[in-house]
């Protein structure tokens, strides 16, 4: 069984105002860049406690939330009644198990740095999208490794934007764009966050 790196964090995850604010900025940037509608079924990869998907929920029909962490999924499940869309929670490691389902969009915030093989993940995203399906992936710009002060299964100290965009391009995505979406604030430093958008 995979280790739940977020087990001791899940209960207090949303107590950090800077974290909540960062994901809110990301959600606003996604809503500015992409159009959603009430017939859409989207996936949130690495959904955690649902900070991102709850902001997008009012604009879509259904969100499939994918997360490996049982403790984070429980926090999200507690929000189900308050969400303004249908919710499916899948507890799985998407880097190891393929999902035979198609979506109209894939959103993700602060999760890709936990994924070892970024190229393969983008190819999987491409295969899981309907024609013209959209992606909106936010994560850290390249940093010095100081963002995480404890081991939470990190494979990348952020990303170089050009390299990250190229992974998506190689996977087949079109109309790709990367822009600044937020600043993740820690007591000791600020960390810029980018948002990549595009479509199949
Ligand atoms: C930093 S949290 C971000 C949570 C949420 N997206 C947010 O912005 O608040 C990263 C999440 O990705 C999940 N995760 C990491 N690797 C994963 C994988 N291979 N498959 C599914 N979920 C994964 C973790 O369990 C965790 O909940």
pLDDT digits (tens, 9 = 90+) for 124-166: 999 999 999 999 999 999 999 999 988 778 999 999 999 999 9
Does 3.60.21.10 match the CATH number of domain 17-199? no
In Å, what is the CA distance from 47 to each residue of 14, 94, 175, 186?
13, 12, 25, 21
Indicate whether this model's pTM tops 0.85: yes
So what's the pLDDT on residue 196?
A: 98
3 state SS of 190: strand
Residue 147: count other Cβ atoms within 10 Å of its Cβ.
16
Report the run of H or E that residue 166 belongs to, with start and end: helix 161-170
In Å, what is the CA distance from 194 to each residue of 26, 88, 97, 184?
8, 27, 27, 10
- Report whether residue 198 contacts ligand 1, using a CB cutoff of 6 Å: no
Close Cβ partners of 165 (under 8 Å, ≥ 6 residues apart): 176, 178, 196
Domain boundaries, the chain: 17-199
How confident is the model over 114-128, as a mean pLDDT? 98
Q: Which residues make beta-bridge pairs with 19? A: none
- Report whether residue 50 contacts ligand 1, using a CB cutoff of 6 Å: no
Mutational test site, ligand 1, from 15, 24, 50, 114, max ligand atoms within 8 Å of CB: 114
**Which of 44, 63, 49, 45 minimizes the C-alpha distance to 6?**
49
Strands 86-91 and 62-67: parallel
Residue bearing the CA closest to ligand 1, atom 19: 93
């Amino acid at each position: 069984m995979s280790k739940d790196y977020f087990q001791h964090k899940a209960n207090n995850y949303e107590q950090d105002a800077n974290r909540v604010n960062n994901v809110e900025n990301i959600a606003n940037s996604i809503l500015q860049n992409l159009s959603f509608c009430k017939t859409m079924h989207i996936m949130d990869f690495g959904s955690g406690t649902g900070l991102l998907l709850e902001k997008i929920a009012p604009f879509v029909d259904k969100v499939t939330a994918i997360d490996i962490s049982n403790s984070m999924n429980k926090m999200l499940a507690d929000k189900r009644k308050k969400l303004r869309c249908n919710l499916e929670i899948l507890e799985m490691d998407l880097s190891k198990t393929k999902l035979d389902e198609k979506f109209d969009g894939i959103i993700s915030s602060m999760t890709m740095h936990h994924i070892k093989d970024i190229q393969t993940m983008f190819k999987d995203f491409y295969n899981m999208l309907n024609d013209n399906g959209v992606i909106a992936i936010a994560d850290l710009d390249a940093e010095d490794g100081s963002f995480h002060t404890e081991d939470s299964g990190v494979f990348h100290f952020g990303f170089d934007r050009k390299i990250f965009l190229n992974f998506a391009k190689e996977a087949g995505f079109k109309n790709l764009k990367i822009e600044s979406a937020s600043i993740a604030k820690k007591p000791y430093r600020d960390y810029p966050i980018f948002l990549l958008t595009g479509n199949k």
